[in-house]
Structure 1
Amino acid sequence: MGEWREVPLGTVATHYRGYSYSSSELDDRGEDSFISLKVFDKGGGFREGGVKRIRGFVPEQFRVPGGSLLLANTDLTRDADVVGAPALVPPRFHNAIISMDATRVVPDLGQVDERYLALILGTGEARSFMRGSSAGSTVLHLDTKRLDVLPIRVPPLEEQRRIAEILDTIDETIQATERVIAKLERVRSGLAHSLIGAIEAPRARLRDVASLTSGSTPSRSRNDYWNGSIPWVKTGEVRGNVIDSTEELITDRALAECPLEVYPAGTVLVAMYGQGSTRGRVAMLGVPATTNQACAAIKSAPAVLDESYLFEFLKYGYDALRSLSHGSHQENLSTRLVGAFELPVPSLPEQTQVVAVLDSASARLDAEKADLEKLRQTRAGLADDLLSGRVRTVAA
């Protein structure tokens, strides 16, 4: 097997930025596909839903063939997750126009395979280099001149192709699993709407069949309040899920000195405010935990209301929950508004029957998600081994 080399990107590829456009040129009825920042996944990859349309004359130099390698050179995210992300243009977008937020990287195909180059530019080292080569206070911009000195590992060309083929095969399996999950989620959502929407039972305000409270945020200036052992939930973690762990933990001292309560597993949470679509989302605690002040913690009266039924109903009622704040003097929800939310309360056996049907639909979905996570872990480990040269491929 041939030796690996480490070379500056500029010795094996050229690059250029896309078309500087104005928003007035974007038009859903435009003649050409337009590739903007929205096509780039945070971890790398092409989001077809981010493709727009553009009208009018655009110089031919900004059109790219299918299979072209692009990099995101702008980033609006708080954590710089997008800048430098690579993406290969799908064949169906052949001859699309790329925006100024994208850079096309054109490899010397006698030295480097385009698919391999996309993989190597997606490694942690390359992404870190590109983040370090970006600047801006609110919008990050990649200094594309620095790309020429980005160090990349280059094995023999045939080995590059084998590496790309191996990882492409795993990616295809991952994508197929993602499609299955998306279909199962649609089926479960439709089933929930059919079951819950058809319930005919006396209605009650939430505060009449449950207790509602909220938590707080311990002072960030007190180091003795943080990095303890008690889970603490933020609204960003409330995503229609069961919460088994949290991003942050607080200490016993924080619990003793701050207006906080440890809620038992089974408590249902509603995000009362937060960015974007967060307001109105629900979750259920899988472990005892505290919350911040933006979460309404709802403990159902067990003789009247099954906690899992409540969880499912509030997920179903997401839009209605969000609308409670409309017409008030605030955009946020509150425990008072959430407590006024009405829901049908059938008998406990009927509630548990609804939950059992939905749990059955969730079982395969959960199994597919577990398989997807294993595939992603396998892919990450294999990519690390192959792209570092620790594991070498052998020609068939």
Structure 2
Amino acid sequence: MDNKLPEEWVCSTISSIANVKGGKRLPKGTSFSNSPTNHPYLRVTDFQDGNIITLGLKYIDEDTFNDISTYTINKGDLYISIAGTIGLVGSIPDYLDGASLTENAAKICDIEINKNYLKFFLNSNYAKNQFIEKTVSSGQPKLALFRIRDCELFVAPLTEQKVIAEKLDSLLAQVESTKARLESIPGILKQFRQSVLAAAVSGELTEDWRGTKELIGWREETIGTVADVSTGTTPKRTENKFWDGGDIPWLTSAATGKSFTYEAEQFVTEQAVKECSLKVFPEGTLLLAMYGEGKTRGQVTEMKISAACNQACAAITIHDKAIDLTFLKFILISNYEETRRAAAGGNQPNLNLKKVRDIPIPLPSIEEQEEIVRRVEELFGFADKVAAQVKTAMESVNHLTQSILAQAFSGELTKDWREQNPDLISGENSAAALLERIKAERAKLKPTQQPRELTKKATKS
């Protein structure tokens, strides 16, 4: 951010316009209440995107609250995380008025400028970079309170602060709305691809090509009738002769996370192949994960290398010229959920070679298969282009927030407004005059201190 400010602005510090106070560590042995009480306890994990996430909010009982009651945060205060994810800033909503605050956060209170203006400034890279640079580390990195107080702050005239805050509210809301729409597109594209595959394997996609809804030339087969299905094994890890210096690619079900497999992370030796009866499958083999945690089971990859595999994979090698490799791959991808449901029960449901061989496949003529593959790849290519455009747009949007904040706190966002309203930013309305008033008001509130000598005499008497 350019430090050249409009003439009516002043570069000051947080301490000139607000107080910064830390939170409080809970007494040793304190446990949170199992049900909500009148005393929520705010932690850094509750801070997200300028808001308080109430899901998972913790509460303390009356006695614990009384022990730390001087470390509360009130509606209108700003919070800032000083440990963990440093620099998270947001406002305290009305319903959390009087909540207790963790020692890993601080409150910015008694704010004497526009609070939204200050919140937006603290969320700018100019402020965040100051916090990062001033973070000290003795184990867990932490931001000292005096570092927050010393943070440079660009103070605009009070009326202009309000205008800036309102403009930022509107502009950043539009950015968030755009971001939300962009974030929804990958899900839409996933549904699109699933619909394309469903249409492909049902014959709907090539209905116009056939000239009829009837599936003329289609027949039902199983994987076992058109391909060889086998698996591998895992050579003993303790036998160095099976692993050391190996140059034969050896795959696990982790490889099925990608559509194509071009390389292996592990290799075995020729001795392992011979003594462990490993089969090296040719390029063009489809690997189907027969078991695995999460979403792994049922995934499929096409091998672009010759490789052996472990017992968690079913290697499917086509032996019938009546089926196209890519068409079979599309069937397996389309049948992902059905394949998973076919797994046996237990703590971790698994497929087996018989179940894989019995997977049904619709089989049109080889000419229609090739047409289906062409159309699917064309539609998937379109989806890939959209996905790339969305990714680029998302990167731009993610930079847009900080770009807008930079314009706001350089005065660029309100340049025209200042030209149209010179009386609202000059003289008694200037930032310099505002800071002088704040300084004078604070001086009035400070308790009058007696000279040290008079204090000593009063003590002796």
Which residue in 1 is equivalent to 2:272? 258
Say whether 1:186 aligns with 2:191.
yes
Aligned mates of 2:256, 2:132 — CA distance in 1: 29
Alpha carbons of structure 1 residues 245 and 114: separation in structure 2 relative to 1, 3 Å: farther
Deviation at 1:379, TM superposition (A): 8.9
Go from structure 1 to structure 2 and tell me whether the alpha carbon gap of 1:356 and 1:12 turns closer, same or farther (over 3 Å shift).
farther
| 2:342 aligned partner | 324
Please name the residue that 2:386 is paired with: 368
CA 1:147–1:307 in structure 2 vs 1: closer, same or farther (change >3 Å)? Answer: farther
Alpha-carbon distance change, 169 to 157 in structure 1, aligned in 2, over 3 angstroms = farther
Provide the C-alpha distance between the structure 1 equivalents of 2:74 and 2:366, rounded to a whole number of angstroms: 60
Name the CA distance, whole Å, in 2 between partners of 1:289 and 1:271. Answer: 15
Alignment of 1:19-30 (within 5 A): 20=32, 22=34
Aligned equivalent of 1:282: 300
Tell me by how many angstroms 1:300 deviates. 2.0
Give aligned-pair identity as a percent: 20
Deviation string for 1:104-163 (max 9, x for gaps)? 775678887443489959x99999x89x75xxxxxxxxx9xx6769x99966558xx9xx
Alpha-carbon distance change, 327 to 105 in structure 1, aligned in 2, over 3 angstroms = same
- For structure 2, the residue ranges without an aligned partner over 5 or more in a row are 5-10, 14-18, 37-41, 156-163, 205-214, 402-408, 413-461
Q: Which moved more, 1:203-212 or 1:105-114?
A: 105-114
Structure 2: which amino acid aligns with 1:310? L
For residues 177 and 355 of structure 2, the distance between their equivalents in structure 1, rounded to whole angstroms, comes to 46
So what's the TM-score if we normalise by structure 1? 0.57
Higher helix share: 2
Q: Tell me, which stretches of 5 or more residues in structure 1 are unaligned?
A: 6-10, 26-34, 74-82, 134-142, 384-392
Q: Which amino acid aligns with 1:190?
A: S
Structure 1 Cα separation of the partners of residues 381 and 74 of structure 2: 44
Instruction: Describe the superposition over 1:12-64 as per-residue Cα deviations: whole angstroms up to 9, x where unpaired.
Output: 67467999464x88xxxxxxxxx999999xxx979xxx98699x999999999
Q: In the aligned structure 1, how far is the partner of 2:242 from the partner of 2:281?
A: 21
Match of 1:308 among 283, 301, 326: 326
Q: In 2, are the aligned partners of 1:69 and 1:86 still within 8 Å (CA)?
A: no
1:249 to 265, 271, 274: 265
CA distance in 1, matches of 2:252, 2:203: 33
Matching residue within 107, 123, 138 for 1:115: 123
Amino acid at match of 1:256: E
Q: How does 1:172-251 map to 2 (within 5 A)?
A: 176-198=181-203, 200=215, 201-217=218-234, 219=237, 222=240, 225=243, 232-239=250-257, 241-245=258-262, 249-251=265-267
- Larger relative contact order, structure 1 or 2 (CA cutoff 8 Å, min sep 6): 2
Q: 1:64 to 1:86 in 2, by over 3 A?
A: farther
Note closer, same or farther for the CA distance 1:154–1:231 as it changes in structure 2 (3 Å cut): farther
SS state at 2:123 partner: helix
TM superposition score normalised by structure 2? 0.51
Letter in 1 for 2:201: I
**From 357, 361, 366, the counterpart of 1:343:** 361
Contact 2:280/2:307, CA 8 A, preserved across alignment: yes
CA contact (8 A) 1:266 1:308 kept: no
| 1:224–1:257 distance in 2 versus 1, CA, 3 Å | closer
Q: Distance in 2 between matches of 1:300 and 1:124?
A: 58
Please tell me whether the aligned partners of residues 67 and 88 of structure 1 are also in contact (alpha carbons under 8 angstroms): no
Distance 1:38 1:210 in 2: 52
Deviation at 1:242, TM superposition (A): 1.4
Residue by residue, what CA displacement relative to the aligned partner does 1:244-291 show, whole Å, maximum 9, x if unpaired?
A: 456x6234xx14233455544433221111112322222333555543
Pairs aligned (count): 344
**2:332 is paired with a residue of what secondary structure?**
helix
Query: Which structure is larger by alpha-carbon Rg, 1 or 2?
Result: 2
CA distance in 2, matches of 1:169, 1:353: 44
Q: What amino acid is aligned across from residue 257 of structure 1 in structure 2?
A: Q
Give the 5 Å matches for 1:49-64: none
SS at match of 1:204: strand
Using a 3 Å threshold, how does the CA distance of structure 1 residues 174 and 340 change in structure 2: closer, same or farther?
same
